[in-house]
């Protein structure tokens, strides 16, 4: 008997097989679990056993594949064999001739859902938090346990393409509607009772695809009804992915080809595509960063050890503008009492109204209730009085980006705060060490850099000033986790890490304009590179005047420090556009004309910057945008601004959307290899300027070996 699945036959002759992997918080699909299920199938063959309920002894039903194991596969044979071995067990399960019901009391994701699909019926708890789905595509994989074979045969090809291609969670109600579930249950007792009743009512259960007259719901891949869909699905997918995510193409191919052949052949087809995905560089990049490095960060890899865990009970926010209002919302949502201060009561109230707006919308859409909304709003107290901050354990300053204003509010807040309180600045550009000079206790001063819009963006960049203590850092880190966001920790520097590297992407695109590259080619290259927004459109969002302001400030600061300032060639374009009032989206005009119907590239752009007859290859433009970012990230590493490759990679994807398929700004270099990076960077430097000269740390790696990630 296996430890992974316990077996118990009741007096009604029904075998209850309970998955409960020893030593793991969740059930994951691997050899151990599959051996347990195989043993359960053996037991099912006992003539005294009438049927089987597959259940879970953990909170989830089964969380999916064992990613630790998958990450080690480099050759296709092993994953192909492992996938076929899993299928063999599941095929025996469904062909035993006795009914098997999956009793789903918690998440059934990836391989977990695939196991449930091999059961003759699925019944789930009617819990709105319960997640079903095939999320493999999100880490560059394809369901390898029969998901692309059974789903099209159960819910139809179109729905299967959506489930596997998008990878989103399916709520229980939706799953019931589409026929993925046979029934739902109010609680665990009802779940088991309904499973038993289903077995009693269906003693000869057979899967639809094992019936002699089986037909795909909605037709198989040859069906004329699906011709229009097959004609456009690949182009929709490639418009979304720019061809950068092979898993998406493989999923479509597996479903299409699997819909032309018999069940067993379709299983082999799927396992081949699975092996191709799991050994691909893209899945290695995504698993490495979005699984291993992200988990390490969440477990506190960048948090100083030895400082006891802390919680913020009362948070003060100075400045109830766009950022202050957003920070108030996410904090109150996490149960924190918030004091929201501004110069006038009206401004403070407006900051609170931002939460009201978001919550009203959520209630309208059924994602929240009036009670929950009111409780959250009751936690936000708008004020103009500094005394109200007295009991706060953390204060975040989000006033105007102005040193004098920030210094003033720092002093006023510290005058009323308790000795143990932490003071944080949400500045986007001003070095933290300098701002901390206004503080009477710089050890408790830190940067907490949020991204806009705060309620949507998952990252907070924590900036450690020269005097910031380990305890302050640990408390800032704990707060970021407390509000459900991902913290990265960086050392103080101009632009910190995210703003500094992000700007190289946008500025590279802008510099191309001046060289005569067609603006449309520039924008297309940004998207083809895998960035969420093209560079010119992005600069319009951020505003050209802000970029100019920051550049001027940097120039002044560096001059005051006696250090040289090298202007990026794109800056002259920004200056020129600002001079003619094209300052960005807020003004309705920048690189684009912005109207009610969206944006259109400003026609005057090509008059101001005439387009060359001979246009460069898109590859050249893409390389420039990506190498500029990766090289700047490497410089941040070299200068000690970055503290780990995990912070760099996760921060780049979550902070500014660095093409996720590359696995992050430093993984871009690790995946390519330092020598190849150096060679190409030098070519770019020769053609476009010294900003592409590879960072010394990469040159060293190219000579001596090594990589950023361990």
CB of 508 to ligand NAD, least distance (A): 21
Q: Where is 511: in which H helix or E strand?
A: helix 498-514
Q: Of the two residues 219 and 321, which places its CB atom closer to ligand NAD in the complex?
A: 321
Q: Of the two residues 270 and 492, which places its CB atom closer to ligand NAD in the complex?
A: 492
> Residue 519 and residue 536: Cα distance in Å, rounded?
8
DSSP 610: P
DSSP collapsed to 3 states, 204-247: CCCCHHHCCCCCCCCCCCCCHHHHHHHHHHHHHHHHHHCCCCHH
Select the residue interacting with ligand NAD from 15, 17, 399, 547 (CB under 6 A): 399
CB of 350 to ligand NAD, least distance (A): 7
> Residue 343 and residue 500: Cα distance in Å, rounded?
31
> Residue 505 and residue 531: Cα distance in Å, rounded?
9
Interface residues for ligand NAD in 644-673 (CB under 6 A)? none
Interface residues for ligand NAD in 301-320 (CB under 6 A)? 318-320
CB of 441 to ligand NAD, least distance (A): 20
Q: Of the two residues 2 and 545, which places its CB atom closer to ligand NAD in the complex?
A: 545
Distances (CA, A) of 325 to 321, 349, 364, 446: 6, 10, 21, 20
CB of 318 to ligand NAD, least distance (A): 5
Phi, psi of 120 (to 5 degrees): -75, -20
Please name the residue that has the structure tokens 């109150």. Answer: 332
Binding mask 671-700 for ligand NAD (x = CB under 6 A): ------------------------------
CA diameter of the chain: 88
The length of the chain is 710
Please name the residue that has the structure tokens 């992407």. Answer: 505
CB of 643 to ligand NAD, least distance (A): 21
CB of 428 to ligand NAD, least distance (A): 4
Q: Per CB under 6 A, does 401 bind ligand NAD?
A: yes
CB of 40 to ligand NAD, least distance (A): 53
CB of 319 to ligand NAD, least distance (A): 3
Select the residue interacting with ligand NAD from 347, 460, 507, 525 (CB under 6 A): 347
Q: Of the two residues 237 and 398, which places its CB atom closer to ligand NAD in the complex?
A: 398
CB of 553 to ligand NAD, least distance (A): 11
Q: Per CB under 6 A, does 339 bind ligand NAD?
A: no
Site size toward ligand NAD (CB under 6 A) is 24
Peptide bond preceding 108 in cis form (omega within 30 of 0):
no
Dihedral sign from CA coordinates of 453, 454, 457, 461: positive
> With CB under 6 A as the contact rule, which of the stretches 48-56, 119-127, 398-406, 675-683 interacts with ligand NAD?
398-406
Q: Among residues 107, 120, 250, 449, which one is catalytic?
A: 449
Select the residue interacting with ligand NAD from 171, 229, 405, 601 (CB under 6 A): 405
Interface residues for ligand NAD in 414-453 (CB under 6 A)? 426-428, 449-450, 452
Q: Per CB under 6 A, does 324 bind ligand NAD?
A: yes
CB of 429 to ligand NAD, least distance (A): 6
Q: Give me the helix-helix angle, 535-542 and 519-528, nearest 10°.
A: 90
CB 51 within 8 A of CB 206: no
Q: Of the two residues 304 and 321, which places its CB atom closer to ligand NAD in the complex?
A: 321
Q: Where is 360: in which H helix or E strand?
A: helix 345-364
DSSP 388-426: GGTT-SEEEE-S-S-HHHHHHHHHHHHHHS-TT-EEEE-
Q: Of the two residues 238 and 383, which places its CB atom closer to ligand NAD in the complex?
A: 383
Listed residue (251, 67, 24) closest to 151, CA to CA: 251
Interface residues for ligand NAD in 197-256 (CB under 6 A)? none
> With CB under 6 A as the contact rule, which of the stretches 141-149, 165-173, 402-410, 434-442 interacts with ligand NAD?
402-410
Distances (CA, A) of 288 to 276, 296, 489, 585, 673: 17, 11, 19, 37, 16
Residues 6 or more apart whose CB falls under 8 angstroms from that of 87 comprise 145, 146, 267, 271
Q: Residue 100, SS3?
A: strand
Binding mask 448-477 for ligand NAD (x = CB under 6 A): -xx-x-------------------------
Burial class of residue 120 in the structure, from the number of CB atoms within 10 Å of its CB (0-12 exposed, 13-18 middle, 19+ buried): buried
CB of 430 to ligand NAD, least distance (A): 7
- Listed in sequence order, the DSSP H helices in 134-207 are 147-155, 157-166, 172-177, 188-201
CB of 652 to ligand NAD, least distance (A): 16
Listed residue (294, 290, 258) closest to 273, CA to CA: 258
> Residue 455 and residue 485: Cα distance in Å, rounded?
10
Tell me, yes or no, if 549 is annotated catalytic. no
DSSP 42-81: HHHTSTT--EEEEEESSSSSB-EE-HHHHHH--SSHHHHH
Q: Of the two residues 276 and 436, which places its CB atom closer to ligand NAD in the complex?
A: 436
CB 89 within 8 A of CB 41: yes
Q: Of the two residues 282 and 537, which places its CB atom closer to ligand NAD in the complex?
A: 537
Beta carbons within 10 angstroms of residue 559's beta carbon: 11
Binding mask 266-305 for ligand NAD (x = CB under 6 A): ----------------------------------------
Please name the residue that has the structure tokens 């690189």. Answer: 591
> Residue 62 and residue 102: Cα distance in Å, rounded?
11
Q: Of the two residues 185 and 459, which places its CB atom closer to ligand NAD in the complex?
A: 459
Listed residue (358, 350, 361) closest to 329, CA to CA: 358
Q: Of the two residues 452 and 600, which places its CB atom closer to ligand NAD in the complex?
A: 452
Beta carbons within 10 angstroms of residue 343's beta carbon: 14
CB of 379 to ligand NAD, least distance (A): 20
CB 472 within 8 A of CB 443: yes
Select the residue interacting with ligand NAD from 9, 71, 322, 527 (CB under 6 A): 322
Binding mask 352-391 for ligand NAD (x = CB under 6 A): ----------------------------------------
Q: Of the two residues 138 and 449, which places its CB atom closer to ligand NAD in the complex?
A: 449
Name the closest residue to ligand NAD (Cβ). 321
> With CB under 6 A as the contact rule, which of the stretches 239-247, 336-344, 649-657, 687-695 interacts with ligand NAD?
336-344
Residues 6 or more apart whose CB falls under 8 angstroms from that of 434 comprise 403
Listed residue (627, 626, 398, 639) closest to 496, CA to CA: 639
Q: Of the two residues 400 and 565, which places its CB atom closer to ligand NAD in the complex?
A: 400
Q: Of the two residues 319 and 476, which places its CB atom closer to ligand NAD in the complex?
A: 319
Which active-site residues does the annotation give? 449
Point out which residues bind ligand NAD (CB under 6 A).
318-324, 341-343, 347, 398-401, 405, 408-409, 426-428, 449-450, 452
């Amino acid at each position: 008997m296996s430890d992974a699945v316990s077996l118990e036959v009741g007096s009604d002759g029904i075998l209850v097989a309970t998955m409960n992997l020893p030593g793991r918080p969740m059930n994951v699909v691997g050899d151990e679990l599959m051996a347990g299920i195989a043993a359960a199938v053996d037991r099912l063959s006992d003539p005294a056993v009438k049927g089987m309920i597959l259940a879970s002894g953990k909170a989830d039903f089964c969380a999916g594949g064992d990613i630790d194991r998958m990450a080690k596969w480099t050759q296709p044979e092993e994953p192909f064999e492992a996938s076929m071995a899993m299928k063999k067990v599941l095929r025996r399960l469904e062909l035993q001739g006795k009914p098997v019901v999956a009793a789903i009391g918690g998440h059934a994701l990836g391989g977990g859902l695939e196991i449930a699909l091999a059961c003759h019926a699925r019944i789930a708890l009617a819990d709105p938090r319960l997640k079903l789905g095939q999320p493999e595509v999100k880490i560059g994989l394809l369901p390898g346990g029969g998901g692309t074979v059974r789903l099209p045969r159960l819910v139809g090809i179109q729905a299967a393409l959506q489930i596997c291609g998008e990878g989103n969670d399916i709520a229980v109600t939706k799953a019931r509607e589409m026929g993925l579930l046979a029934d739902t249950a109010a609680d665990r007792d009802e779940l088991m009772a309904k499973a038993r009743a289903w077995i009693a009512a269906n003693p000869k259960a057979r899967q639809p695809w094992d019936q002699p007259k089986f037909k795909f719901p909605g037709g198989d891949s040859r069906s004329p009804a699906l011709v229009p869909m097959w004609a456009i699905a690949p182009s929709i997918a490639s418009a979304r992915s720019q061809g950068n995510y092979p898993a998406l193409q493989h999923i479509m191919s597996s479903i299409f080809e699997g819909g032309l052949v018999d069940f067993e052949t379709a299983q082999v087809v799927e396992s081949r595509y699975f092996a191709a995905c799991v050994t691909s560089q893209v899945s290695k990049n995504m698993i490495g960063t979005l699984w291993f490095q992200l988990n390490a960060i969440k477990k506190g890899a960048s948090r100083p050890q030895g400082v006891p865990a802390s919680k913020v009970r009362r948070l003060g926010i100075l400045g109830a503008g766009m950022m202050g209002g957003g920070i108030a919302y996410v904090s109150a949502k996490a149960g924190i009492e918030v004091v929201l201060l501004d110069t006038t009561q009206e401004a403070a109230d407006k900051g609170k109204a931002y939460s009201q707006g978001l919550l009203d919308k959520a209630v309208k859409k059924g994602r929240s209730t009036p009670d929950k909304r009111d409780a959250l709003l009751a936690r936000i107290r708008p004020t103009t009085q500094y005394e109200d901050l007295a009991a706060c354990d953390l204060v975040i300053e989000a006033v105007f980006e102005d040193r004098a204003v920030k210094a003033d509010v720092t002093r006023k807040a510290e005058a009323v705060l308790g000795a143990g309180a932490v003071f944080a600045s949400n500045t986007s550009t001003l070095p933290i060490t300098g701002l901390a000079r206004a503080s009477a206790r710089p050890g408790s001063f830190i940067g907490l850099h949020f991204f806009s819009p705060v309620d949507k963006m998952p990252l907070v960049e924590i900036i450690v000033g020269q005097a910031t203590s380990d305890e302050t850092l640990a408390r800032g880190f704990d707060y970021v986790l407390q509000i459900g966001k991902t913290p990265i920790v960086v050392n103080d520097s101009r632009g910190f890490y995210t703003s500094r590297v992000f700007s190289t992407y946008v500025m590279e695109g802008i510099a191309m304009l001046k060289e005569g590259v067609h603006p449309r080619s520039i924008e297309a290259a940004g998207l083809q590179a895998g960035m969420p927004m093209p560079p010119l459109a992005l600069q319009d969002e951020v505003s050209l005047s802000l970029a100019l302001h920051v550049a001027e400030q940097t120039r002044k600061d560096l001059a005051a420090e006696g250090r040289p300032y090298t202007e990026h060639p794109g800056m002259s374009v920004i200056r020129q556009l600002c001079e003619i009032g094209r300052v960005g989206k807020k003004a309705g005009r920048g690189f684009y004309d912005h109207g009610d119907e969206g944006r259109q590239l400003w026609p005057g752009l090509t008059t101001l910057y005439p387009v060359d007859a001979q246009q460069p290859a898109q590859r050249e433009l893409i390389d420039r945008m990506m190498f500029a970012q990766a090289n700047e990230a490497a410089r941040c590493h070299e200068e000690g601004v970055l503290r780990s490759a995990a912070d760099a990679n996760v921060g780049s994807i979550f902070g500014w959307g660095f093409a996720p398929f590359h696995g992050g700004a430093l993984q871009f270099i690790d995946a390519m290899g330092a020598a190849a990076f150096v060679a190409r960077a030098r070519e770019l430097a020769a053609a476009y300027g010294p900003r592409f000269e590879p960072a010394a740390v990469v040159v060293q790696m190219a000579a001596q070996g090594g990589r950023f990630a361990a």
